[in-house]
Amino acid sequence: MLDPIRSLLATIGVPEVLDDPDRLAEFGDHEFEVLERAYTMALELTGHYAAADADEEREALDVLFLTRMTLSTARYLRAVLVLGPPAEAPALTVLRKDWQGHPMHRSSREDLDDLLVPTQTLNVLEEIGLPADRVAEITFDERLERVAESEQLYGVDDDSESFFRSLWKIGVADNGDLICIDERADGTICRLEKDWGFMSMIYVSASISHYLHWLALYRTSPEAAAAWAKVNDEASLS
Identify the domain containing residue 207 by its residue range: 92-237
Q: What's residue 167's pLDDT?
A: 96
CATH number at residue 213: 3.40.1580
User: 39 and 10, same structural domain?
Assistant: yes
> Residue 202: helix, strand or coil by DSSP?
strand
pLDDT given for residue 155 in this prediction: 61
Number of domains in the chain: 2
Domain's final residue, options 82, 102, 120: 82
C-alpha distances out from residue 121 to 32, 103, 114, 197, Å: 32, 19, 13, 27
On whether the pTM is more than 0.85, the answer is: yes
Give the per-residue pLDDT at 53: 67
Q: Are 99 and 215 part of one and the same domain?
A: yes
The dihedral built from the CA positions of residue 181, 187, 193 and 197, taken in this order, carries a sign that is negative
Residue 236 is predicted with a pLDDT of: 74
Considering the domain architecture, whether residues 220 and 105 belong to the same structural domain is answered as: yes
Are 229 and 214 in contact, with CB atoms under 8 Å apart? yes
Query: Is 87 inside any structural domain?
Result: no
pLDDT at 55: 77
Of 49, 82, 115, at which residue does a domain stop? Answer: 82
How large is the C-alpha radius of gyration of the chain? 19
Q: What CA–CA distance (Å, rounded) separates 100 from 225? A: 18
Instruction: Clarify whether residues 130 and 60 are in a common domain.
Output: no
Q: What are the tens digits of pLDDT across the range 172-191?
A: 999 999 999 999 999 999 99
Q: Give the model confidence (pLDDT) of 119-148 as tens digits.
A: 999 999 999 999 999 999 999 999 999 999
Which residues, other chains included, contact 165 with Cβ-Cβ below 8 Å and sequence gap of 6+?
Answer: 146, 147, 148
Contact 25, 74 (CB under 8 A): yes
Query: DSSP of 211-231, one letter per residue?
Result: HHHHHHHHHH-HHHHHHHHHH
pLDDT, position 237: 60
Q: Classify residue 144: in a domain, yes or no.
A: yes
Residue ranges, the chain, pLDDT below 70: 47-53, 84, 154-159, 237-238
Asked if 105 and 208 sit in the same domain, the reply is: yes
Q: How far apart are CA 73 and CA 66, in angstroms?
A: 11
Identify whether residues 200 and 153 lie together within a single domain. Answer: yes
Instruction: Check residue 106 and report its DSSP letter.
Output: P
Q: Which of 47, 82, 117 is the last residue of a domain?
A: 82
